[in-house]
Structure 1
Amino acid sequence: MPLADAPLILIIDDTPEELRALCTLLRAHGFRLSLASEAHQGYQRALALQPALILLDVHMPQMNGFTLCRLLREAPATQRVPIIFLTSASSVDERLEGLSLGGVDYVLKPCVPEEVLARIRIHLQLIWRDSPASAVSAPVERLDTDQVILRAAIRFIDQRLGELPGLGEIAREVGTHDKRLSSIFREHLGMTVFAYIREARLRRGQALLLDSDMSIQDIADLVGFRSACNFTTAFRERLGLTPSQFRQQAGGSQSLVHAHP
């Protein structure tokens, strides 16, 4: 295979000297490599180069690997690129977070280069099997950085409605700061982050009222309201009904549908 056609592996790690043996092995087996020593640089290279696979560290300054993974999974150009976490972050919670964010594998340092090579080959074979070269690829949607951050923030919020951290922590989890995140929400959604969170909680509450028999208190807890009273007040202000009235009306409508097919 000509070198220009060889798969490109992007390595994002702030201590690349630890991976010298692995890099030597990968080059010896015909892979092209691109190295980024910090997350922002890695993000830009991933978008520009669209590598076949990414090896990603977790503990890096400024932006950690989990935050970078969130952004890469929201950017259309990189959302299907397999990401293998290669890191010393060894706790069970860290390993589970990496996999839940979309990492295809999680390898601990110090690593055995031959094992990493084997894992890379497995994941590339899976990609090539599922995406044959003959398939016609659709045009890739283009998003600017703010749009990617917005998508990552919305996903983060929607997945953690019941136990959301403060605005500053939400912003850090998606690679920015609170003022910029607030500006992005106002520009793209016409509302503040807190207004979006409130709407998301009420939407989830509506769905649970319709699709479950959970108590109002349990629903309030699950979607992040401090009490059933707070949930009821916000729900009535938004929809003109209390949660109980909404559930009764919805139940009555469903009964009519079933009675008159």
Structure 2
Amino acid sequence: MVETPQRPPHILVIDDRPEELRSLLDLLRAQGMQLSLAEDPRTGLQRAMALYPDLILLDVHMPQMNGFALCRLLREAPALAQTPIIFLTSAASIDDRLEGLSLGSVDYVIKPCAAEEVLARIRIHLQLIWREKATPTGIPDALQNPDQMILHAAMRLIGRKLDQVPPLAEIAKQAGTHEKKLSTIFRQHLGMTVFAWIREERLRKSQELLADSNMDIQGIAELVGFNSAANFTTAFRQRLGMTPSKYRSHARSGDEVVTEDQSDS
């Protein structure tokens, strides 16, 4: 039998229409669970980082920032990285469900729903996390810096979509901020613009694929977001001082690959 904590489980509910969840909230309270409520995403993020809940119930369609963007930020907070997140939402399309689960949520429940079903799902995920989770012992403030969370969320999002990187405004929105703020964060923390980092990440990923896969040059070019093998080869040579084919040959022969930047140092 899994031992449960002596204290009641703490559930954070982030939903801009909590009145629609009244029967569920009443049921959770009747089960002795501690509830915290937030009616907008930014308040929800602040409360999550301050309270370290055992589980988060999260809506998708909310003002200012949607639930997917908030989930990205929550997953970049070290103290909350393993906290179960259950989407509880009317966003019922298969694309919405796949997006929510791909972001690291443990469950996706469609409204309207039976309160008893949600309670059962909460209990299952609490039992699973109690097998592994120790009570947080304090996370250094530097690791909880909101700008760092936005930066890492944006970098992870870009890394997943290198073949078709969204416009800057969309990247910012999905990372829970706006264009100007995101650009400032990249310059302050990485010393480059968002677009410069995307270019660097595309070339870094292409080096991995050249060394570790059998994909042809055209396939690699498309996968990392170049519209042609010729454009990819030009950018690769400008940055690394050799063609992709030559880089692959060196990497597979076991020779140390020395780029122009390294040879000049």
TM-score (normalised: structure 1): 0.92
Rounded Cα–Cα distance in structure 2 between residues aligned with 1:65 and 1:94: 11
Q: Is 1:18 equivalent to 2:20 in the alignment?
A: yes
1:53 corresponds to which residue?
55
Partner of 1:92: 94
Partner of 1:241: 242
Indicate how the Cα distance of structure 1 residues 147 and 209 shifts in structure 2: closer, same or farther if over 3 A, else same. Answer: same
Are residue 202 (structure 1) and residue 199 (structure 2) matched?
no
The worse-fitting range, judged by mean Cα deviation, of 137-146 and 91-100 is 137-146
Residue equivalent to 1:162? 163
Structure 1: any 5+ residue segments left out of the alignment? Answer: 255-261
Alignment of 1:12-91 (within 5 A): 12-91=14-93
Task: Name the % identity.
Answer: 65
Aligned residue among 102, 106, 109 for 1:107: 109
Q: How far apart are residue 253 of structure 1 and its match?
A: 3.1
Partner SS state of residue 86, structure 1: strand
Between stretches 245-254 and 86-95, larger displacement belongs to 245-254
Equivalent residue of 2:227, what SS? coil
SS state at 1:19 partner? helix
TM-score normalized by structure 2?
0.90
Deviation at 1:138, TM superposition (A): 5.8
Q: Map Cα deviations across residues 66-123 of structure 1 (whole Å, 9 max, x no partner).
A: 0000000001121111000000000011011101101000111001001111111110
**What is residue 178 of structure 1 aligned with on the other side?**
179
- Residue 116 in 1 paired to residue 115 in 2? no
Corresponding residue for 1:259? none
Tell me by how many angstroms 1:14 deviates. 0.7
Structure 1 consecutive aligned stretches of length 4 or more whose deviation exceeds 4 Å? none
Question: Do the aligned residues in 2 keep the contact of 1:13 with 1:60 (CA within 8 Å)?
Answer: yes
- Local SS of the residue matching 2:80: coil
Aligned twin of 1:216: 217
Q: How many residues align?
A: 248
Distance 1:251 1:178 in 2: 41
Give 1:186's aligned amino acid.
Answer: R
| Residues in 1 aligned to 2:138 and 2:39: alpha-carbon distance in whole angstroms | 30
Residue in 2 that maps onto 1:258 = none
RMSD: 1.4
Cα offset, 1:50, TM superposition:
0.7
Offset at 1:29?
A: 0.4
